[in-house]
């Protein structure tokens, strides 16, 4: 369980790291960081800056998918040893995702997301298998 929770903890930090990087890019591109209206300022960024912002938003969304999968696994009484590899795979894809997103590699980004989703689906299927055993 410790490894799976470590993956989750790292995933929780990722959006904040992307926000920090996004702030650096905002300062460079627009001369300042507008903390009062960050979403409106994000719309003023060039495509690179907007993709950083979008990657941050996507990182938040991915946490929900992974957290839901872990919750289902926990509720089913699944041994977390069985989901260490999918958890690591999900983490790896989520670390690669912002890079391919920021650099505009759309097809690779979609592939990375598909692998992440498949990891979560595997966790949920294992949880349902546990319940029917």
Instruction: State the pLDDT confidence band at 118, using cuts at 50, 70 and 90.
Output: very high
Domain count, the chain: 1
SS3 of the chain: the string is CHHHHHHHHHHHHHHHHHHHHHHHHHHHHHCCCCCCCHHHHHCCCCHHHHHHHHHHHHHHHHHHHHHHHHHHHHHCCCCHHHHHHHHHHHHHHHHHHHHHHHCCCHHHHHHHHHHHHHHHHHHHHHHHHHHHC
Instruction: State the pLDDT confidence band at 133, using cuts at 50, 70 and 90.
Output: confident
pLDDT in tens, 93-115: 999 999 999 999 999 999 999 99
Domain that holds residue 21: 2-132
pLDDT in tens, 2-17: 999 999 999 999 999 9
- CATH number assigned to the domain comprising residue 103: 1.20.120.550
Q: Specify the higher pLDDT residue, 51 or 133.
A: 51
Q: Say what the pLDDT of residue 88 is.
A: 98
Instruction: State the pLDDT confidence band at 63, using cuts at 50, 70 and 90.
Output: very high
pLDDT in tens, 9-62: 999 999 999 999 999 999 999 999 998 998 899 899 999 999 999 999 999 999
């Amino acid at each position: 369980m410790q490894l799976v929770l470590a993956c989750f903890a790292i995933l929780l930090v990722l959006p904040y790291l992307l926000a920090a990087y996004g702030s650096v890019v905002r300062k460079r591109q627009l001369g300042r960081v507008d903390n009062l209206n960050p979403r409106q300022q994000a719309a003023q960024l060039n495509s690179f800056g907007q993709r950083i912002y979008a990657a941050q938003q996507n990182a938040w969304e991915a946490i929900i998918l992974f957290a839901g999968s872990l919750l289902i696994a926990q509720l089913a009484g699944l041994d977390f040893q069985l989901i260490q590899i999918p958890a690591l795979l999900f983490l790896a894809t989520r670390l690669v995702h912002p890079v391919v997103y920021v650099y505009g590699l759309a097809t690779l980004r979609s592939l990375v997301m598909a692998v992440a989703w498949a990891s979560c689906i595997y966790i949920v299927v294992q949880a349902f298998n546990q319940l029917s055993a």
